[in-house]
Amino acid sequence: MIALALLAASAAVFVSLGQWQLGRAEERQVMAEQIEWGRTQPPISLSVNTPTHDLLPWRPANVSGVWLGHLSVWLDNRNLDGRAGLWLATPLMLEGGKTLLVLRGWIARPIGADPEPSVPTPKGPVQIQGELLTHVPRLYELKSVRGESGSALTTGFPPGWPDSPTYAKHNATMSFPRVQNLELASFADLTRLNMMPIVLMQTSDAKDGLTRQWPGPSVDFDKNRGYALQWFSFAGIAMIAWLGIIWRTWRRYKEKAAT
């Protein structure tokens, strides 16, 4: 009886895991369709008057503004081709008062005594191109398991930032805060900027030493379907074993009844 209960429980777990993988496959397929659809939309010129319904994920966009270089933030643990590195995120002030957070690019993490790379931030108006994102791509954080916010305003930000006189200048070589994840709402609260509800992932070259080879989200939904098939197969094997035990138990009972 214990074996029958274990096999039945195992089959139920395997079926549940297979259904979960099918759900993940559906999510990834929808994401792949959204990316393809967004990238086929005509490029949009962003302004403070751009309607929210035009801010479509993965849509090509261009924007003009002035960098708020002193409010730049490093996003840590962003690897590229197996190399440890950082993303540089800088707010761009648009004409009219709104601000757009721009992921400017990737740079290798410095090795040795130099704690931070130097990236020039142009002064004056600039025009850049990129793709729209709904949020800054996140990395998994153990803090979230404990119920803590991975984007807490104090995490990775030095005391007094950004009001401290140390950060009150547009200095291309200043030390920027380094965080693992960054959310628009938290960043807006901390900087008191009127942020647009979108992020621009820059693709245009700016000759600033940053690499703009952005990783895309995993959309291999066929792999999830393959995993689902494996789990359903395990469930089938467990059920066959369950039926086999039932059959042998019934035969032994019939043999005993016949004697």
The pLDDT, as a whole number, for residue 254 is 73
The pLDDT, as a whole number, for residue 114 is 57
Contact 150, 180 (CB under 8 A): yes
Where are any strands of DSSP class E within 68-121? 73-75, 85-93, 99-108
Show pLDDT as tens, one digit a residue, over the chain (259 residues).
Answer: 787 888 888 888 988 998 988 888 888 777 777 778 878 889 999 999 999 889 988 999 999 999 999 899 999 889 898 888 999 999 999 998 899 999 999 998 877 655 677 788 888 999 999 999 999 988 765 443 333 444 444 456 766 677 765 554 444 445 788 888 998 998 998 899 999 999 999 999 888 889 998 887 766 777 888 888 888 898 888 888 888 888 888 877 777 776 6
Domain boundaries, the chain: 2-27+221-258, 44-202
The pLDDT, as a whole number, for residue 198 is 94
**How many C-beta atoms lie closer than 10 Å to residue 195's C-beta?**
18
The pLDDT, as a whole number, for residue 251 is 79
The pLDDT, as a whole number, for residue 147 is 38
**Residue 114 is encoded by which pair of tokens?**
């130099």
Cis status of the peptide bond prior to 162, with omega within 30 of 0? yes
The pLDDT, as a whole number, for residue 166 is 53
The pLDDT, as a whole number, for residue 120 is 84
Distance CA 20, CA 14 (A): 10
The pLDDT, as a whole number, for residue 155 is 55
The pLDDT, as a whole number, for residue 140 is 61
